[in-house]
Amino acid sequence: MINRYRWYELVAIYAGILVFLGFILAPFVEGFLVSLKPLGLLFSSPYRFWPENGSFAAYYTMWESVPGFARYIFNSFFISTIVTAIVLILVIPAAYAFARFNFRGSGALLGAFLAVNMFSGAVLLIPLFRLMRSFGVLNTYLAMIMPGVAFLIPSAIWLLRTYMMRIPRELDEAAFVDGASHFYTLRRVILPIAMPGITVVAITTFIGAYAQQFIYALTFNSKTEYMPLPVGLFAYFGRQEVIWNELMAASFVGIAPAVVVIFLLQRYLVSGLTAGAVKQ
């Protein structure tokens, strides 16, 4: 591979990266800076980006102004974890079936999944609400978990199916010749090899569940103790004013568990797991 750049090409490349990163990271940086400032300074004119006499005080006071905040983080984390677990349990066999077996209607079914993906949950809120009410699950964790699972399954199946289709079919055939059942093959052969793909699905599902629970929580749940993080953040919107610095601090604290999970999962994202399986 040719890997030599002239100095001005290098400068251009890094400048490009810088612009791009700046664009993406600027809100985070500003959010973090805001969380360090005392509330009074936020409305000073002229506006200063750099916090003078900044401190981490907001990170302490946030727990006091909204006492239930730890619970909200737990709720978010709990709901996302359960959603991810259910999605994985359902999607792994489904993706295997879609990747390996030719059955009638598999194409139509996959198309339908894609179509479902095009609806956002918001479009279906009212029918969903009626459904939840007739099941009697309003104001429970279940009301936030079930629609979350339903809307995350299609993309998860598509993702994992694509990954599994890249696993050589000969491995299934070899296991079949050796007498292994489909489930044994899935468990002992396909699952370990598909681990990076499953990790990607787990991460996207977890993030998806973390992000999309807001709308379900807002509509299907009115109990404070079940509120997840995004709804919980509203508590910082006071009657008179918004406690911006604590809100920003709370946002960062709220994201932390998800970041930890992703950090833990990403070490399974090793490539080249099929090395030596078949001659390519």
Q: Could you say whether residue 165 binds other proteins (CB under 8 A)? A: no
| Binder of other proteins out of 5, 56, 176, 237 (CB under 8 A) | 176
| Binder of other proteins out of 4, 7, 64, 178 (CB under 8 A) | 178
Choose between 87 and 175: whose C-beta lies nearer to other proteins.
Answer: 175
Stretch that binds other proteins, among 16-24, 41-49, 241-249, 266-274 (CB under 8 A): 266-274
Q: Could you say whether residue 183 binds other proteins (CB under 8 A)? A: no
Residue with tokens 């833990």: 264
| Binder of other proteins out of 174, 255, 262, 265 (CB under 8 A) | 174
Choose between 64 and 178: whose C-beta lies nearer to other proteins.
Answer: 178
Q: Could you say whether residue 192 binds other proteins (CB under 8 A)? A: yes
Chain positions 200 to 229 lying near other proteins, rule: CB under 8 A, are: none
DSSP letters spanning 83-151: HHHHHHHHHHHHHHHHHH---TTHHHHHHHHHHHHHS-GGGGHHHHHHHHHHHT-TTSHHHHHHHHHHH
Q: Could you say whether residue 199 binds other proteins (CB under 8 A)? A: no
Q: Could you say whether residue 193 binds other proteins (CB under 8 A)? A: yes
Choose between 242 and 278: whose C-beta lies nearer to other proteins.
Answer: 278
Q: Could you say whether residue 180 binds other proteins (CB under 8 A)? A: yes
Q: Could you say whether residue 278 binds other proteins (CB under 8 A)? A: yes
Q: Could you say whether residue 177 binds other proteins (CB under 8 A)? A: yes
Give the amino acid at 158: W
Chain positions 10 to 39 lying near other proteins, rule: CB under 8 A, are: none
Q: Which residues pair with 82 in a beta bridge?
A: none
Q: Could you say whether residue 171 binds other proteins (CB under 8 A)? A: yes
- Cα within 13 Å of Cα(267), Cβ side: 4
| Binder of other proteins out of 9, 173, 225, 241 (CB under 8 A) | 173
Cβ atoms of residues 38 and 61 within 8 Å: no
Burial 3-39 (b: 16+ CB within 10 A, else e): eeeeeeeeeeeeeeeeeeeeeeeeeeeeeebbbbbeb
- Give the Cα separation of 235 and 64 in Å (integer): 12
Cβ atoms of residues 110 and 158 within 8 Å: yes
- Give the Cα separation of 203 and 245 in Å (integer): 29
How many binding residues for other proteins (CB under 8 A)? 24
Residue with tokens 């973090």: 32
Contacts to other proteins by CB under 8 A: 168, 170-171, 173-180, 184, 188-189, 192-193, 272-279
